[in-house]
Amino acid sequence: MPKGVTVNVCMGTGGIAGGADEVLAAFREELSRNSVEGRVLEKCAVHQVGCRGFCARDVLVDITIDDERTTYQYIRPDMVKRLVSEHIIGGEPVADWMVSDEYHRFHDLQKKIVLADCGTIDPEDIEAYIDAGGYRAITEVLESRTPAEVIDEVRRSGLRGRGGAGFPTGQKWELCAANEADRRYIICNADEGDPGAFMDRSVIEGNPHSVIEGMLIGAYAVGSDSGYVYIRAEYPLAVDRLRLALDQARAKGFLGPDILNSGFSFDIKIKLGAGAFVCGEETALIASIEGERGMPRAKPPYPADKGLWGKPTIINNVETWANLPPIINNGADWYAGIGSEKSKGTKVFALTGKIRNTGLIEVPMGISLRDIIFDIGGGIEGGRLLKAVQTGGPSGGCIPQQHIDLAMDYDNLLAVGSMMGSGGMVVLDESDCMVNIARFFLEFTQAESCGKCTPCRLGTKRLLEILTRITEGEGRKGDIELLEDLAGDVRDTSLCGLGMSAPNPVLSTIRYFRHEYEAHIHDKHCPAKVCRKLLTFFIREDLCVGCGMCRKACPTGAADGKPKAPHHIDTSSCVKCGACYDVCKFKAVLKE
């Protein structure tokens, strides 16, 4: 870090939504207006940086004066003036706004490899990446290693695909390189479709060059001259930063013909996804790049044998690619020394839901769920009780509270009926209904099923209908067994991963929360008080002050009463929308 004053403002999607661009502009204005550089006789630089991880405390700002770094949280534009006058000019950090111990606890158990430079370097400046040691790995590979040596290094590191299924990366490359072909392709899967996941988006927004460098290493190893990044159009900021990074890399000679005078040529194109979850499946993704409807096909042949345009193709996801430069720089043994026996390295998770410290975390494989939730995550929001953790999105399952000491790795997650998935981790508390959660995911997979094979197209629809019936109080005796039976058939007979894993949310919630299903079906009761058709809304007269808020909010006139006198709800005209419950400031509206 050069001497002088550096201000870093977190500008990921989360930061920007929290007002980071206004904060950044305020710093630039305040520093130039007071001609601060002249007054402190130092160079002052203001940078935007990628996601810092602790999104719950956005906007996060680092002020570094001569290597002394102070981090501030919850910064708004109107606070900038004081930060500049007291800290930068006066030399006294503003203690009131500094991050608390919780910020440090959030980071203590983390180990950052992929995210190491995310949040410290400017993602829109290739020089920042190079200064942090970027493009050193590819330079070394091109100068002194054969493709076979690179593949061997990756194989020995134990790296497994971070997209969800966990296939060994080195083995995939070996298979691809062994095929006779006039052309091979490299694809980066950035079609992060799982709801509740934003790891890949954050990596591209925060450090796009690490993904490009990873792809370069892969391309050299398998002998490819052409790569694609397939990225969701729903991530406009990530797309812009990636496009800029590709242009900068080309200008610097890291992409294009004869890279670094090595004779090796490679370039990368961006393909924008058009909104289809199934395109995260590799054969569907390939069909989509080819300009077709994104429908999966049967495997084998695997893409490593016959992929894009029928040529051998390597598909890895964003996080996998970003792991490669550190593996080359530090060696396979270093990487294999981190993590658990069969899952090496670290994993990035998007920690969200009913947890205090939401954000982006990177932890060594094998860490316990307890450490993640209670140490890093700071426990459950509002002091409520933990019920379950949902991992793997619509393909995964719910891990109940009793498995909280589970060591997080690929194999353990499968054993409890969930999966790693791409790394979404949604924490659920006692106020969440597990039948409703299962219904939510089936609604998702049913809508996203491409329709090619019958078990998935019709099976998910029937599963959704049964679950909807149960949450609406129409559940019948035998529904649970019917769900289990049908879910098993969909899992066993679907063509691709989407259909095969779609029943997971149903099966895992029945396995651990059967009593909730039974309460819905037999007692017409939702224990978590979520399923509205099973609830009755009423007003406690002793708490109601007659403010009339519920009367105004009620769409049907069911909530009524005279001003300043207790109101009541007419159950026959109540549509159970919950508007009265939301607006009541006196907690006089109850649901049962």
Residue with tokens 């939702």: 526
Judged by CB under 8 A, which of 350, 442, 487, 496 binds other proteins?
Answer: 350
Sign of torsion over alpha carbons 239, 242, 246, 252: positive
| Among the listed residues 14, 25, 31, the one whose alpha carbon sits nearest the alpha carbon of residue 83 | 31
Classify residue 98 by its DSSP letter: B
- Toward other proteins, which CB reaches closer, 338 or 577? 577
Judged by CB under 8 A, which of 424, 455, 497, 503 binds other proteins?
Answer: 424
How many whole angstroms separate alpha carbon 389 and alpha carbon 435? 14
- Toward other proteins, which CB reaches closer, 230 or 335? 230
How many whole angstroms separate alpha carbon 467 and alpha carbon 474? 10
Of 26-34, 249-257, 258-266, 420-428, the segment contacting other proteins by CB under 8 A is 420-428
Judged by CB under 8 A, which of 113, 181, 437, 502 binds other proteins?
Answer: 437
How many whole angstroms separate alpha carbon 328 and alpha carbon 346? 16
- Do the Cβ atoms of 20 and 79 come closer than 8 Å? no
Site string for other proteins, 491-520 (x = CB under 8 A): ------------------------------
Site string for other proteins, 368-397 (x = CB under 8 A): ----------------------x--x----
Site string for other proteins, 191-220 (x = CB under 8 A): -xxxxxxx--x-------------------
Give the helix/strand (H/E) hosting 352.
strand 346-353
Indicate the Cα dihedral angle 540, 542, 545, 549, nearest 10°.
Answer: 0
Residue 178: Cβ within 10 Å count: 12
Amino acid, single-letter form, for residue 138: I
Of 104-112, 162-170, 232-240, 312-320, the segment contacting other proteins by CB under 8 A is 232-240
Of 155-163, 270-278, 461-469, 563-571, the segment contacting other proteins by CB under 8 A is 270-278
- Toward other proteins, which CB reaches closer, 21 or 518? 21
Rounded to the nearest 5 degrees, what angle is found at the Cα of 291, between the Cα atoms of 286 and 297?
Answer: 40
CB of 120 to other proteins, least distance (A): 19
Q: Find the binding residues for other proteins in span 38-67 (CB under 8 A).
A: 55-56, 58
Judged by CB under 8 A, which of 219, 372, 435, 450 binds other proteins?
Answer: 450
Scanning 271-311, the segments in alpha helix (DSSP H) are 282-289
Judged by CB under 8 A, which of 50, 345, 353, 561 binds other proteins?
Answer: 353
Judged by CB under 8 A, which of 97, 129, 173, 277 binds other proteins?
Answer: 277
- Toward other proteins, which CB reaches closer, 210 or 352? 352
Site string for other proteins, 2-41 (x = CB under 8 A): -----------xx-xxx-----------------------
| Among the listed residues 249, 228, 264, the one whose alpha carbon sits nearest the alpha carbon of residue 141 | 264
Of 254-262, 269-277, 371-379, 399-407, the segment contacting other proteins by CB under 8 A is 269-277
- Toward other proteins, which CB reaches closer, 149 or 582? 582
CB of 542 to other proteins, least distance (A): 26
What phi, psi does 583 have (nearest 5°)? -85, -20
Classify residue 565 by its DSSP letter: S
Q: Is 276 in the site for other proteins (CB under 8 A)?
A: yes
Q: Is 74 in the site for other proteins (CB under 8 A)?
A: no
Q: Is 246 in the site for other proteins (CB under 8 A)?
A: no
Classify residue 58 by its DSSP letter: P
CB of 6 to other proteins, least distance (A): 25
Give the helix/strand (H/E) hosting 6.
strand 5-10
CB of 290 to other proteins, least distance (A): 5
Judged by CB under 8 A, which of 158, 170, 359, 377 binds other proteins?
Answer: 359
Please return the burial class of 134, using the count of CB atoms within 10 Å of its CB with bins 0-12, 13-18 and 19+. buried
- Toward other proteins, which CB reaches closer, 352 or 494? 352
Judged by CB under 8 A, which of 46, 426, 442, 544 binds other proteins?
Answer: 426
Across 64-89, b (16+ Cβ under 10 Å) vs e yields bbeeeebbbbebebebbeebbeebbe
How many whole angstroms separate alpha carbon 232 and alpha carbon 431? 32
Tokens of 373: 């939730």
Give the helix/strand (H/E) hosting 268.
strand 267-273
- Toward other proteins, which CB reaches closer, 138 or 434? 434
> How many alpha carbons fall within 13 Å on the CB side of residue 438?
33
Of 169-177, 186-194, 209-217, 462-470, the segment contacting other proteins by CB under 8 A is 186-194
Q: Is 291 in the site for other proteins (CB under 8 A)?
A: yes
- Toward other proteins, which CB reaches closer, 486 or 528? 528
Partners of 47 in beta bridges:
8
Q: Is 557 in the site for other proteins (CB under 8 A)?
A: no
Q: Is 227 in the site for other proteins (CB under 8 A)?
A: no
- Do the Cβ atoms of 535 and 526 come closer than 8 Å? yes
CB of 159 to other proteins, least distance (A): 24
Which residues have CB under 8 Å from 504's CB, separation 6+? 392, 395, 396, 397, 417, 418, 419, 491
Q: Let me know how long the chain is.
A: 592
Judged by CB under 8 A, which of 444, 512, 513, 517 binds other proteins?
Answer: 444
Judged by CB under 8 A, which of 285, 386, 544, 579 binds other proteins?
Answer: 579
Judged by CB under 8 A, which of 234, 267, 375, 518 binds other proteins?
Answer: 234
- CA of 380: how far to CAs of 246, 350, 413, 475, in Å? 41, 16, 22, 32
Scanning 252-317, the segments in alpha helix (DSSP H) are 282-289
- Do the Cβ atoms of 328 and 215 come closer than 8 Å? no
Tokens of 178: 């062994």
# residues near other proteins by CB under 8 A: 59
Q: Which residues bind other proteins (CB under 8 A)?
A: 13-14, 16-18, 55-56, 58, 192-198, 201, 233-236, 271-277, 288-294, 309, 350, 352-354, 358-360, 390, 393, 424, 426, 428, 432, 437, 440-441, 444, 448, 450, 555, 577-579, 582
